[in-house]
Structure 1
Amino acid sequence: MLQTIRDNSQGVIAKIIIGFIIGVFALFGAESIIGGFLGGNNVASVNGEEITEPELAQSLQNVMAQMGANVQDFDEQLLREIALGQLIEDRLLMQAAESSGMTISDNSLDRQIVRTPQFQVGGVFDPDLARRTMGAQGFTAQTYRASLSQQMMMSQLANAYASSGFVTDEAIERLAALELQTRDFRYLSIPLGNRTLGEAIPADDIRAYYDNNPAEFTAPEQVSVNYVVLEKDRIFDEVEVDEARVRAQYEEERDAAVANIERRASHILWELGGDASQEELLAIAAGVKERLDAGEDFGELAREFSDDVVSAEDDGDIGYTDGSVFPAALEQALVTLEVDQVSDPVVSEFGVHLVKLTEYDAQEYPEFDEVAERIERDLNSAEVDQLYFSRLENLANLAFETFDLQAINEELGLEIQQSEYFGRSGGSSAITSEERVIEAAFSDDVLVEELNSELIELSDTRAVVLHLQEYRPEALIPFEDVRAEIAVTLRGQREREMARELGENLMAALDSGEDISGQIASESLSWIEREDVRRNQADVNIEIVRNVFQMPSPEASDPVRRGFSLNNGAYVLVELQAVEDGNAANMPEQQRQQLTAALIENQGRMSFDALLRNLQTDADITGLELDPGVL
C-alpha cells in the first residue's frame, strides 16, 4: 500500500537494474513467452525440463545479433548449437540455484523494478510506462517478474562462485618474481641494407616466382556500378516555413507548457486497518495539525507519527505530481494549498493524511522571439522528414518496378553516378566501402540478372540504389606488369637472408670465443647495452623484449645467446647476461592490490567454470545432438 505511493512519486530509489532488464529481455523475449502458450516442438530436455523450439529461435536471434554483420559467414547449424548450448547452461544454473534454496524476495523484485530507468519518467517510477514497456517485449507484469526473478537468481549463483576466490602471500610472491623480474643484456641489430646493390636478380628467378605464386598476381573479380543517392540534407533547401505556422506552433506549445503544473508534497500517514478506527485516526491527525499550526516542525512530526517510514526519513517527502500521481483525495487537497501550507486531515484508500505543499512549479513559457528560430527549425525538420520518407518509399518502388536507373533519374531528379571498380572487399569511395553496397553489388539480382538493387538505407538520412555497369572476372595479371614488383620482392628476401647469415656467423664466432669487434666495426654496427629491463619496458623494441624474456637464465657468468629476425627483416643477436627475480616487497601497493584482485577474479571464474562442467557432467540432457565443444 505504502509502496504504491512511493512507486508513483519517489524519484531517488530507481537507478540500478538496467542490466537485468536487458538480460531478461534478451533471454525471455516475446517469442518464448508466446511459445509457452501456443506450444511447439521440444528441441532438448535438461533434467526433465523441456526447451522449446520458440525459445531456441529467440536464443538464435540473440546470438546472431551479437555476432553482427558477419553472421552470414558462419555455419547456421553451428550457430543453432551455440544458441542451444546457452539455453542449456541457463537451465542448469537455474536448477542449481533452486536446489541450493536460493530465492528472490518480492521486496527485492520491487526495488529492482522501481529503480529501472526504462520504467521512469523524470527519474520517477511510472507504472503505466512500466506496463507498456513490459507489454512491448511480450510480458505481462507476472511473467516479467518471474523472468526477472530467474535472471537475478542465476546472477546470484554466478556471483557466489565468482567471488569465492582467494590468494595467498606465497602466490603473490611467485607472481611478483615473474612480474617484476628484470634482465641485463646486450644486443646487435643488423638492419637490411644495400648488401645486394649491383647484384642482378636473375630473370629465371623472377619468372619462377611469378609461376609459383599465381595467387599473389591474380586480380580479384571486380564490378563497377551506376547508382543514385537520396539524401535528406539536400531536401532542406526545398522547404520554407512561413511565420504564421511558426506562431501557431508557438501558441500550441505555450498553452501546453502553462497547463503543465508540478507540485511537490510531503505527508504524514496514519494507516487504516489497525486497532484505531478512521474517526480515531482523524482525531489524532487533527491534534497533530494543531501542533503544526502552533509552529512545530513537519519533518519531526512525520518521523514521530507517520506509518510511511520511508518518506518520514525524508521529512515526509513523497515527490512530485502533475495532478495524476497521488490518490485523488491528496491531489484535491494540494490544489487548495499554498506553498508550506498543511491541509486538514484527508482520507484516501491508504489511510488518513496530513499533506503539505512544499513546491509549486507553474511553467513560464518564453516570449515568441526567444523560441521562434527553434520552432521554425523543428517545423522545417518535420516537413523535410515527411518529404524524405515519401521519396524513400517512391525510390524503393521505382527500384523494384524498373530495369535501370533512368526512370528514377527522371521522376526524382537523382543524378546517376558511376563508381570505380571494386571487389568483394570494397572500394575506396564512401559508397563502395559500405558493406551493404558491396553485398548488393555482388548479389545475383544485380550481378547475374542485371536488375536494380533493392533500396539500401545507409543511414537514417541516406539511401542508395545500384545497377551494374560492368563486371570484370578474376584474372591473372600479365607477367610484364608485375616483373619489377617481383624483382623488388626477391631483392628484399635476399637482403633478409644476408642479414640473417651475417648474424648467425657473428653468433658462431662468439660461441667459439673469437673477437668479433672488427667485423662489427666493418658493418658499422655496435652493441647496445641494457640493464634492469622489465617485461613491459617501453623504450626497447617489443619483439626484442619478448625474445629476451623467453631465453633461459644464464648459468654462472656464461651469457646465453639467441638470434632472431624482426618483422621488419632486421636480424638481432642477443647476449643475456643476468636475470634478477622480482620481490613483492618492492611492488607498489596499488599494483599489489590489482594483482590480488586479478588472481581472485581468475580463481572465481575457474570455480564457476568448474561448477558448469560438473552440472553438465551430472545432468540428463537429451534432444538435439551437440558438439562437445559447444557446452
Structure 2
Amino acid sequence: MLEKFREGSQGPGAKIILGAVIVTFALAGVSSYLGSGSAQSAATVNGVDISKQALENQVRNDRSRLESQQGESFAARWEQPEFQNQIRQQSLDTLVAQNLLQQMTDDLSLRIGDEKIRSYIFSMEQFQTDGVFNEERYISLLRQNGMTPAQFVERLRTDFAQQQLTDALVSSEFSLPSEVKLLAALQNQQRQLSQLIVPVNKFANDIAITDAEVSRYYEDSKAFFQTPQQASVDYILVDMKDISTGIELAADAAENYYNEHQSSYAQEDKRKVAHILVAFNDDEATAEKKAQALLTKIQLGADFAELAKTSSDDTFSGENGGELDWLEKDIMDPVFEAAAFALVNDGDVTSELVRSDFGFHIIKLLAVEPGKVKAFADVKTAIETRLKNEQAVSHFDELAEQLAEQAFEVPDSLDVASEETGLAIVSTELFSADAIPAPLNDPKIVSTLFDQDFIAEGLNSEIINLSDEQSIVVRINEYKAQSTKPLTDVNDEIIERLTATKAEQKALSFMTNVSAKINAGENIDAELATVDASFTAPEWLSRFDYTKADFKVLSKLFSMPKPAAEQATVATETSLSGDVTLLKFSSVRDAEMNAEEATRLGDTLKNINAQADYEMLIQTLIKAADVSYPVAE
C-alpha cells in the first residue's frame, strides 16, 4: 500500500489528470496536431488516423521531457534500441488515449464557452508583453507553430473539453476516514532498532585469491570487461544561427519593406459587444422560442442590459449587462463573430437570432475601435528580424544544397566540400555511443555513425537534416570495434571483486552465527570482540530516517514481523555500501496524526484513486475501440 502511495502521484495517469493539460497541448506540442498528412498512419482509432508525423512529434516531446528529468542517465539509455522502442510505444499509447478521450468528449457533447477560451488566451504569458496581451506576438507565435488563430482556438476548445472529462474523475473520487487513518498509521509508524554493523573489510585480511579463480571468473564474466566501440568523426555543420550572425541589412531595407507592405501592418476594427445567451439545455426548440421572445422585447424597447442580467445563461457577462471584452477577428466562434462584425452603428442589435454550438445569441454593438496602420517605429525591429531571417533561410538552403552536392561528388573527403562552402571541418576525439558530443548526439546521426556498412565504406554521409536550422554531413575518421579487455588489465579488479564476495560471505556467516546465539539466549560478547563491534543503543526510527540507517536496512526493518512481548526480532541485511548489518527489532509505536496531515493524506488517496479511475477508463475505451496498427514492411 505504501509503495502505491509513494508511486501513485508519479504515474503517467496522475500526470494527465493533475497536470496542466491545456498548456501542454496548446503550445509545447502544438505541431503534433498538424501532421504532414503522411499516407500511412501510425495507428487508426475507430477509423481516425494518427499520423506518423504526430507520433514523431510526441516521441520528441516525451524524449525532451524525460531527458530534462533524468539527465545523463537518460542519454545513455536512449542509445539502446530496445529503450527507444519502449518510449516510442509509450508515445503511441498516449496518442491513442488522447484520441479515445476526444471521441468520448464528442459523444458526451462536452462544450466550452467562447468567453472562457478568450479569457484563457488573453491570460497566457506566452502572448503577453509587459503583462498585457499582444496581438502581434499572438499571431506571430502561432504562425511559427504552423497554426492559424482559428485552429488554435479549436485546439483549446478540444483540450478544455477533455479537461472537463478528467476533472470529473478527480472531483468524483473520495477517501474514507478509515483509509486515511490506516495510511497515516503505516506511514508514521516508528520502530525501535539496535544495529550491529560489521564492515566487510574486517573479514578480508586472510582471504587469498588464486590465479585459477581469477581466470575462471574472467572467462565466465567477459561481458563485464568490454571496451565499447568507439569512433572519431569529421563533420561539416550548416547552422542558421551562424549564418544569421553575419547578415547586415542596408540602412533603408526595413523602411522600404514597410512602405511596400503597409497593408500587412493594418490593424482591423475591434468591436465591443454585449450578448444574451439562451443555452440549448437538451431542448433546442424551447431555447429558440425563449430567445425569440427576448429579441422581440428588445425590438419593442426593452432594456438590453437588464434582460441580460435576468435572462442570459452566460451569467458571467450577464452580471455586466452582457458586456464582453473587445472583440477581434479569429478569436470567437465564427458564426458569433460574423454577426458581431456585421453590425454598423453603436447600439445596433442583431435582427435575427444567432445560433452557435452553445445556444442562441442576441448581440448588441456597444462601440467600434477603427483599424489603423501601425507606425514604422513600432514594427521596425520585427521587420529587420524578418528580413534577416529570410536572407538566412535563403543562404542556409544554398549552403546545405552545395554541401550535399560536394560531399556526394567527392565522397572520400570533406576537404572539397569545405573549400566550396567556406564551412569548417570539425574533428572529434574518439567517443563511444554513451558519450557522443554535440551536435552529433542526435538519433539520426547516431544510427548512421555506428552502422557497420557506413563504417566499412568510409565515405561521406548524405546530408542529414537535424532541424529547420541545422544540417550536417559526417564521415568516420577512425573506428575501434568493441573488444574484450585483456586479463592483465582487469586482474586487480577481479581480485577485488572476488575478495569482496568472499568477505561478504564470511560476514554473513558470522552474522548468522550471532543471530542464532541471540535467538537461543546465549552470550555473544566473545563473537563481538573478534570484530571489535557492538550493538548501537536502541533508537526509534521512522520509515524514511535515511540519515540514521541505510535504505536497505530500513526497508528490511519495516518488513519484519512485529516482535512478541519482551522478545526482540533479529534479521540480517547487507547495506548499499556492502557492509553487513544485524538488526535487533524490539518494539513498535504509532504516531498521532494532525488535521493538516489528514487533509494532505486524504487528497493523496483521492489522487491515487483518480489515477486508477483514469487508467481503468482508458483500458475500457481501448477494449471497446477498434485500434489497428499498420503492418511493418
Pick the aligned partner of 1:587 from 584, 589, 593: 593
**What fraction of aligned residue pairs are identical, expressed as a percent?**
21
- Looking at structure 2, the residues matched to 312 and 85 of structure 1 have their Cα atoms a distance apart, in angstroms, of 40
Deviation readout 1:216-254 (Å, 9 max, x if unpaired)? 23333333332233445555675445xxx3455268669
What is the CA-CA distance between 1:181 and the residue it aligns to? Answer: 0.6
Distance 1:572 1:432, change over 3 A: farther
Verify: 1:169 aligned to 2:177, yes or no. yes
- Looking at structure 1, the residues matched to 428 and 89 of structure 2 have their Cα atoms a distance apart, in angstroms, of 38
3-state SS of 1:528 partner: coil
What is the CA-CA distance between 1:499 and the residue it aligns to? Answer: 3.5
3-state SS of 1:193 partner: helix
Pick the aligned partner of 2:542 from 534, 537, 548: 534
What is the CA-CA distance between 1:562 and the residue it aligns to? Answer: 1.0
Letter in 1 for 2:489: D
Contact 2:552 2:573 in 1 (8 A): no
Contact 1:264 1:319 in 2 (8 A): no
Q: Which residue of 2 aligns with 1:578?
A: 587
- Looking at structure 2, the residues matched to 140 and 602 of structure 1 have their Cα atoms a distance apart, in angstroms, of 37
TM-score, length-normalised on structure 2? 0.66
Q: Which residue of 2 aligns with 1:209?
A: 217
Deviation readout 1:359-395 (Å, 9 max, x if unpaired)? 9999777699xx89x9888866765554344323322
Deviation readout 1:81-136 (Å, 9 max, x if unpaired)? 995997599669957995xxx4335xx3545654563999875999x989x99x97
What is the CA-CA distance between 1:179 and the residue it aligns to? Answer: 1.4
Distance 1:414 1:489, change over 3 A: farther
Contact 1:223 1:421 in 2 (8 A): yes
Contact 1:269 1:307 in 2 (8 A): no
3-state SS of 1:223 partner: strand
Deviation readout 1:314-371 (Å, 9 max, x if unpaired)? 478654478999967877x6xxxxxxxxx7x668768997856899999777699xx8
Contact 1:346 1:353 in 2 (8 A): yes
What is the CA-CA distance between 1:485 and the residue it aligns to? Answer: 2.8
- Looking at structure 1, the residues matched to 244 and 435 of structure 2 have their Cα atoms a distance apart, in angstroms, of 31
3-state SS of 1:408 partner: helix
- Looking at structure 1, the residues matched to 306 and 348 of structure 2 have their Cα atoms a distance apart, in angstroms, of 20
Letter in 1 for 2:233: V
Deviation readout 1:295-329 (Å, 9 max, x if unpaired)? xxxx9999899999976744786544789999678
Q: Which residue of 2 aligns with 1:182?
A: 190
Letter in 2 for 1:523: V
Q: Which residue of 2 aligns with 1:249?
A: 254
- Looking at structure 1, the residues matched to 242 and 36 of structure 2 have their Cα atoms a distance apart, in angstroms, of 41
Contact 1:224 1:470 in 2 (8 A): yes
Superposed counterparts of 1:166-315, under 5 Å: 166-193=174-201, 195-197=203-205, 200-232=208-240, 234-235=242-243, 238-241=246-249, 245-249=250-254, 274-275=295-296, 313-314=319-320
Verify: 1:560 aligned to 2:569, yes or no. yes
Distance 1:474 1:24, change over 3 A: closer
Contact 2:232 2:477 in 1 (8 A): yes
What is the CA-CA distance between 1:580 and the residue it aligns to? Answer: 1.2
Letter in 2 for 1:481: D
Superposed counterparts of 1:29-178, under 5 Å: 51-52=46-47, 54=49, 68=63, 73=82, 102-104=108-110, 108=112, 110=114, 114=118, 117=121, 123=133, 159-178=167-186
Contact 1:226 1:417 in 2 (8 A): yes
Residue correspondences, number: 553
Contact 1:189 1:570 in 2 (8 A): yes
Contact 2:407 2:473 in 1 (8 A): yes
- Looking at structure 1, the residues matched to 150 and 385 of structure 2 have their Cα atoms a distance apart, in angstroms, of 40
Contact 1:231 1:463 in 2 (8 A): yes
Q: Which residue of 2 aligns with 1:411?
A: 420
Superposed counterparts of 1:453-464, under 5 Å: 453-457=461-465, 462-464=470-472
Deviation readout 1:430-479 (Å, 9 max, x if unpaired)? 45655443322112552133221233455666543211223333333222
3-state SS of 1:205 partner: helix
Contact 2:204 2:500 in 1 (8 A): no
Contact 1:426 1:438 in 2 (8 A): no
Contact 1:267 1:355 in 2 (8 A): yes
- Looking at structure 2, the residues matched to 92 and 435 of structure 1 have their Cα atoms a distance apart, in angstroms, of 31
Contact 1:431 1:437 in 2 (8 A): no
Contact 2:271 2:369 in 1 (8 A): yes
Letter in 1 for 2:585: L
Contact 1:303 1:309 in 2 (8 A): yes
Q: Which residue of 1 aligns with 2:283?
A: none
Pick the aligned partner of 2:604 from 583, 588, 598: 598
Q: Which residue of 2 aligns with 1:550?
A: 559
What is the CA-CA distance between 1:590 and the residue it aligns to? Answer: 2.6
Letter in 1 for 2:181: E
Pick the aligned partner of 2:434 from 396, 406, 425: 425
Q: Which residue of 2 aligns with 1:5?
A: none
What is the CA-CA distance between 1:407 and the residue it aligns to? Answer: 1.4
Letter in 2 for 1:545: L
- Looking at structure 2, the residues matched to 482 and 330 of structure 1 have their Cα atoms a distance apart, in angstroms, of 86
TM-score, length-normalised on structure 1? 0.66
- Looking at structure 1, the residues matched to 158 and 310 of structure 2 have their Cα atoms a distance apart, in angstroms, of 39
- Looking at structure 1, the residues matched to 186 and 50 of structure 2 have their Cα atoms a distance apart, in angstroms, of 48
Distance 1:546 1:513, change over 3 A: same
Distance 1:622 1:315, change over 3 A: closer
Letter in 2 for 1:475: S
- Looking at structure 1, the residues matched to 517 and 474 of structure 2 have their Cα atoms a distance apart, in angstroms, of 66
Contact 2:97 2:618 in 1 (8 A): no
What is the CA-CA distance between 1:536 and the residue it aligns to? Answer: 1.6
Stretch moving more, 414-423 or 557-566:
414-423
> Tell me, which stretches of 5 or more residues in structure 1 are unaligned?
1-14, 45-49, 289-298, 334-342, 627-631
Letter in 1 for 2:423: L
- Looking at structure 2, the residues matched to 252 and 138 of structure 1 have their Cα atoms a distance apart, in angstroms, of 24
- Looking at structure 2, the residues matched to 163 and 305 of structure 1 have their Cα atoms a distance apart, in angstroms, of 29
3-state SS of 1:229 partner: strand
3-state SS of 1:482 partner: helix
> Tell me, which stretches of 5 or more residues in structure 2 are unaligned?
1-19, 64-77, 277-290, 331-336, 353-361
| RMSD over equivalenced CA pairs, Å | 5.9
What is the CA-CA distance between 1:528 and the residue it aligns to? Answer: 2.5
Letter in 1 for 2:109: T
